[in-house]
Structure 1
Amino acid sequence: MNNKNIVILALFYAFIYMSTGSFSSYIGVYFTEVGVSNTQIGVLTSIGAVVGMFTQPLWGLAGDRSKSKNRILILCTLLSCITVWLVPAAGSLFWPLLLAMALFSLFQIAINPLSDAITLELSSKGVVRFSTIRTFGSVGYAFISIFAGWLFAVHIHSIFLVTSLIMLGCFLLSLGIPQVAGHQSGMKKVRLVEIFKNKQLTVLYVYTLSLSISMGFLWSFQAIYSRDQGIGMEVIGLGLAIGSVAQFPFMIFFQRFYNRFGIRNILIFSGIIHTLRWCLYAFALTPVTYILTWILHGGTYILFYMCLAEYVNTHVVKELKATGQMLNSVIQLSIGKIIGGMLGGLYAAHFGFQNSFAVLALMGAVSTAGYYWAGKYFSAKAADREPLAQSGKM
């Protein structure tokens, strides 16, 4: 492995997730400070998901059909650095804020899945190891969460300068990432619908969506709800950092877990952890249990993220790998955020945050049980095929 490539990609992933930790985790607090209502915050923090639902498959196809996927990544990092300034320029007016968030999101939402498609392909060629590179993303997230929690408690408006500088770093680093071709850049074109012919992947997407709705609600409102419960911004920042660190063991040892336990067992375990987290938010939120919920974070989002990324990289045809990673993001982030953020915001406005988390706990338990029974059905239909690590059997 080339050490230069490892350093560039490790720093790039650290910067990507630093931008998420500085912007997405705290933008709801900024909106509260400028006088935006909770219902409007739900819409504003979810508009990126709406944009992503329609444009991420197009970004994926653009990457797959470009001479190199890197060209699209470079473009998106540069424009994200610039368009984030549209948000403070919009002041406290809802419609200008909505447009600003939509334009920023248009470019920002393509960065992570494009990066994964590039890095996973480089990993399959032995250039880098994906799980190691992704770990640096969480290191960056942990660092910025602590720093941002301290800084934004004093001056929340600095969120835009911090995010813009981080995205500028992403742009400069993206220039040095090894080139990865778009495999549809020639004559061969493959339709998006080919991905959904894989029934096992489709089942994974349905289960992922059900739990991603709860994560969408969490990212939109956890800081606001926690602060209302008397938890300080410094504790919130510490919790976010701990949540990032809690993901390390699952990323570092992911391949071992994947080979030993398989997708089905890993994701059933994750469903149980999701449910437990929402119960703590609903019925026992204190500064201590708040930290505990972020310790449990290691068993939630990252397990779905890694399982889907690995499955798509292994089992989706090379002409649709970038598109497949974009669909992972659409399912896990975009649609989940739309339902969890927008509809969750409306529900919380009428019934309160505590009741909302209780409903999410119930959803988590039901969807996990449903996935368990679906897995038994598929096991009965396709028993004793190849080992999971090679075939992706549910």
Structure 2
Amino acid sequence: MKAESSSAGAKDELSQEGVPETLRQRICRVLKEENVALRIIPVFLYGAIACTARFLALYLRQLGLDAFRVGLILTIRPILGFFCTPMWGFISDRFKIWRFVFIISIIGTMLFGISVIFIPPAEREPCDIAISNLATNLGVSYNYSTTFNQSAYSRAYLNELEKIMVEKKVFEDKTWLYDERGVMVVFWEFMVAITLYELFFAANLSSLDVAIVRELKGNPKFYSKFRSFGSLGWIVGSLLSGGVLQYFRKVFTICGIDFTLTDYRCAFILMACFYVAALPIACTLKYDNIQNDKEYDVKNFVMILIKPENVSVYALAVFVGIVNSFGSYFYWHLENIGASQLLMGTATALRASAEMIWGLFFQSAVLERLGHINLLTLGLLLYAVRFFILGILTNPILILPIECVMGASYFAVWTTLVSYTVHSFPPQFTATCIAFLCSLFHNLGPGIGTVLTGFLIEKYNSTTTCIVYCVSLCCFLVLFRLARWNFTDVQPEKESMNLITDEEHEKDKMRESTQLNGTPTTQVQTPLPTVPKSYNSITKKGSS
């Protein structure tokens, strides 16, 4: 036994040519076998997003932009993403330049993202005009002679303005402080920078998903084990950016009023650092693990896309994206029920941690046991329960376990949608179908939902909005199951689990055998998957 173990250990230390491995060669082999690159790069990409995602609106408001202009800048992002993401996917698949698109998207996102720190703020109004604007906005009478003399009444007047600003919750509003023409210039400069940023960012996450799926060789149920490291990156990016911004948060006295200002440019610098770290890893990724010899035909892609069973799933993706838009107002709701800033940050960290734990240890096993449709159903049920509890919640501390469940359900729904999509399309459409899913889930749904959620909160309140979403989720869930039952002639819990894998894995085995033996092997006729109306029949019709 000792001899066998020692010979095995010696064999492990030999390279394929029989020469002992150096330490460098052994490290490279381990990194390649364990797919370390695909585990690290989600940390950097999602960490970069986390650095600025929560602070862009705050930065714009601090520069003097009003809520309407901030909303326009934030709305342009999902609109551009909805159109640009499928465009990048089509280009990647059509010309087979997946890695080139990924690298270009990282470089473009980094350059145009950090460009916003070079946009100078608008010029400030003279203090007499600024205080006059502030008093008008607050509905307070303004007297120049009493405001800027050295009497005690002057200080009392300014204190009164500060008190009213706190009561009306407009203390962070800086529109009165800056020249209107300068603010308009800043608005258009940010609009151009964010547009160019989003043009390249649209390919970031979908290209990462394509790299992971191709590395898994058509078996995307393990996609969650790689994507979960993105949640780790989100935690790291959020904590790091929050700590740095807290350090650069200073108190300034402007026109006699004390303001706490934050240098949000540090967050964009951190974002650029994350992208710089991700760039060399992206250059090493391989996109050739799935052999793709079939011609790219848009007609075949559309024919698969409009199948009733696929339409129902992508309608679910849009609806969940709409519901997820409540996250933009989540802190608003927590503040209304008395949550502290520490509790809000803890809830966010716990949610991201739950996403990572679920992805690493549970997602693949649960997906294999339940199937795509049943797991999507379970995820929608958990969404409904979460919004119901948020609607009746009075003790904010209870948000912590709720967000743990929400993190797991969000991650389960997204990774299941990715797995379903990859199983439903042939390999030549991998980037296109994933990009299309990203455009629905991350852009179209949130774009609609941001406007809808804002309207509901403005019309009613955040608590009523939670109940509305709970009822809507229950109604949509019933319609979704009815659609699967009426328009789909396959078993929901089994469908699309084996659309591609059997045939493709058989081809992979033949190629590996050919490479090892040097001679082609006899092809074994394997039966097609027992799923009616698979993409194979559609491809044959399109080719004929």
TM-score range, shorter chain: 0.7 to 0.9
State the match for 1:245 in structure 2: 353
Matched position secondary structure for 2:371: helix
CA distance in 2, matches of 1:134, 1:43: 31
In the TM superposition, what are the counterparts of 1:350-361 in structure 2 within 5 Å?
Answer: 350-361=459-470
Point out the structure with the larger helix share: 1
Alpha-carbon offset, residue 129 of structure 1: 5.3
TM (normalized to structure 1)?
0.87
In the TM superposition, what are the counterparts of 1:92-107 in structure 2 within 5 Å?
Answer: 93-107=186-200
Report the identity percentage.
Answer: 17
CA distance in 2, matches of 1:340, 1:104: 22
Is the aligned partner of 1:212 residue 2:331? Answer: no
CA distance in 2, matches of 1:294, 1:264: 23
Bigger shift: residues 74-83 or 85-94: 85-94
CA distance in 2, matches of 1:41, 1:117: 33
CA contact (8 A) 1:344 1:356 kept: yes
Q: Report Cα offsets for 1:141-190 as digits up to 9, x if no partner.
A: 12222333343444460221111211222222211212448988996443
Q: Greater RCO between the two (CA within 8 Å, min separation 6)?
A: 1
In the TM superposition, what are the counterparts of 1:1-394 in structure 2 within 5 Å?
Answer: 2-5=29-32, 6-88=35-117, 89=119, 91=121, 93-124=186-217, 130-153=223-246, 154=249, 155=262, 157=264, 158-180=266-288, 188-191=296-299, 192-218=301-327, 220-227=328-335, 229-252=337-360, 253-284=362-393, 286-378=395-487, 381-383=489-491, 389-391=497-499
Matched position secondary structure for 2:41: helix
Distance 1:210 1:148, change over 3 A: same
Partner AA of 2:31 in structure 1: K
Matched position secondary structure for 1:247: helix
Distance 1:343 1:126, change over 3 A: closer
CA distance in 1, matches of 2:239, 2:313: 33
Q: Which runs of 5+ in 2 are unaligned?
A: 1-27, 122-182, 250-261, 501-530, 533-544
CA distance in 2, matches of 1:186, 1:247: 36
CA distance in 1, matches of 2:116, 2:372: 40
CA distance in 2, matches of 1:182, 1:80: 28
Bigger shift: residues 121-130 or 51-60: 121-130
Q: Which runs of 5+ in 1 are unaligned?
A: none
Distance 1:82 1:383, change over 3 A: closer
Matched position secondary structure for 1:136: helix
CA contact (8 A) 1:84 1:160 kept: yes
Distance 1:227 1:45, change over 3 A: farther
CA contact (8 A) 2:420 2:497 kept: no
Alpha-carbon offset, residue 103 of structure 1: 1.9
TM (normalized to structure 2)?
0.65
CA contact (8 A) 2:387 2:469 kept: yes
Distance 1:350 1:183, change over 3 A: farther
Distance 1:370 1:104, change over 3 A: same
Matched position secondary structure for 2:271: helix
Partner AA of 1:47 in structure 2: I
RMSD: 3.2
CA distance in 1, matches of 2:56, 2:398: 23
